[in-house]
Amino acid sequence: MPAKRTITVVGGGVIGLTTAYALIQAGHGVTLVERDDHVGEQASFGNGGQLSYRYVRPLADAGVPLEALSWMLRADSPISLKLRLDWHQWRWLTDFLRACNARTNRNNTARLLKLALRGQQALHQWRQEGLDDFLWRRPGKLVVYRNAHKFSKSAKAVSNPQQEQVLTPAECARVEPAFAGLAPALAGGIFSPDDEVADCYLFCQALLKSLQKSENFHLVKGAATLEDDGAGQCRVRINGTPQQTDVIVLAAGLASRAMAQPLGLNLPLYGLKGYSLTVEADPAVLPDVSVTDYDNRVVYARLGQRLRIAAMVDIGALDASLDPRRITSLKRLAEETLPAAGPYSSAATWAGMRPATPTGVPLVGRTQWRNLLLNVGHGALGFTLSGGSALTIQDLVEGMQS
């Protein structure tokens, strides 16, 4: 069957691949451009693996600036800030501080929740269609709180007690016995039974494998650039060669900001560096439920026979290189919190840059160029929001005038 429209998707991370998948399923023709040799090897590679559909509160919230100041004094601080002589960093931080209030956080949480739940439905559908082999499970997610004030604030924000169950420390230990040793230090927890986990990199590979079965799909290795064609449209070039395409979807993660600059489009994206550890351990000691240690902002997810631990937000990092001090801190935190799954000394280590907007809400939508759509800025929740964002792009493509 001939494709309905031809679409060039720029970027082969989880966002570009899910976008391509949704468009192919809808009968469009897709060229996916990826500059690396393989897809899924940037921010989507070693992430926390949480499909955190219910728990989507953005980092920007009331009290976070003060809390962050107290963290700065800790060597194992969940957030580190390196100020630079860089107006983009200052502007991003100013917009972030502006979003740190309860009302903005509530509104943005509601927007993210809608996108996340749509993504959950999408993934359910795609799995029924045969998408597989990415270590998907639905064990639920438990967020544990050490600080009583933060726990009571989060418990009060629960809007659906079936989907977010407020638990005592003893109940937390029953839900996930691997963390029982932590119970005396806890104020309580919130359990979302429908939350899921999966390996984001394997998900990217599964998407690509499925896409390659379609004659309407083409993967092109190359560096894409964007320019204004002078007639209200955007033109994409791959390795310098202009492409014929009906629609362009920019989904190049953090690199999208530099790509949009020749158009005069100033995307508010900033790279927030994070780290992960992956350990092989005896399955009997691995947690089944995925757990977030809220006060330390560390997430634990079992992916098959391995445990993935992800954490930390470094603001002002220039690239995704591993910082040995942060890795040492993360190993120590994991050792203190879940000693049975260690030793962590031989853990595989990884760092990635979350492509973040100041508000935590991604930019998924139209631009002033009739043929250019954005699917960028998914920050700490790109895996979770990927399906919902892909379907939003599909809706926009289908709503475009031919």
Ligand X SMILES: Cc1cc2nc3c(=O)[nH]c(=O)nc-3n(C[C@H](O)[C@H](O)[C@H](O)COP(=O)(O)OP(=O)(O)OC[C@H]3O[C@@H](n4cnc5c(N)ncnc54)[C@H](O)[C@@H]3O)c2cc1C
Residues that bind ligand X (CB under 6 A): 10-16, 33-36, 42-44, 47-50, 52, 223-224, 251-253, 255, 259, 274-276, 299, 310, 352, 354-355, 378-384
User: Min. distance of Cβ 12 from ligand X in angstroms?
Assistant: 5
Closer residue to ligand X (CB): 207 or 255: 255
User: Min. distance of Cβ 43 from ligand X in angstroms?
Assistant: 4
User: CA 340, CA 280: separation in Å to the nearest integer?
Assistant: 12
Closer residue to ligand X (CB): 19 or 104: 19
Closer residue to ligand X (CB): 35 or 137: 35
User: CA 251, CA 382: separation in Å to the nearest integer?
Assistant: 11
User: CA 118, CA 392: separation in Å to the nearest integer?
Assistant: 9
User: Min. distance of Cβ 295 from ligand X in angstroms?
Assistant: 17
CA Rg, the chain, in Å?
21
Q: Per the structure block, which two tokens stand in for 304?
A: 């098959």
User: Min. distance of Cβ 15 from ligand X in angstroms?
Assistant: 3
Q: In this structure, how many other beta carbons lie within 10 angstroms of the beta carbon of residue 4?
A: 16
Measuring CA to CA, which residue among 386, 42, 383 is closest to residue 375? 386
Q: Region of 192 please: left (phi>0), alpha (psi -120 to 50) or beta.
A: beta
Closer residue to ligand X (CB): 49 or 169: 49
User: Min. distance of Cβ 19 from ligand X in angstroms?
Assistant: 9
User: Min. distance of Cβ 35 from ligand X in angstroms?
Assistant: 4
User: CA 402, CA 397: separation in Å to the nearest integer?
Assistant: 10
Closer residue to ligand X (CB): 34 or 164: 34
- The answer to whether 381 and 53 are in contact (CB under 8 A) is no
Closer residue to ligand X (CB): 187 or 248: 248
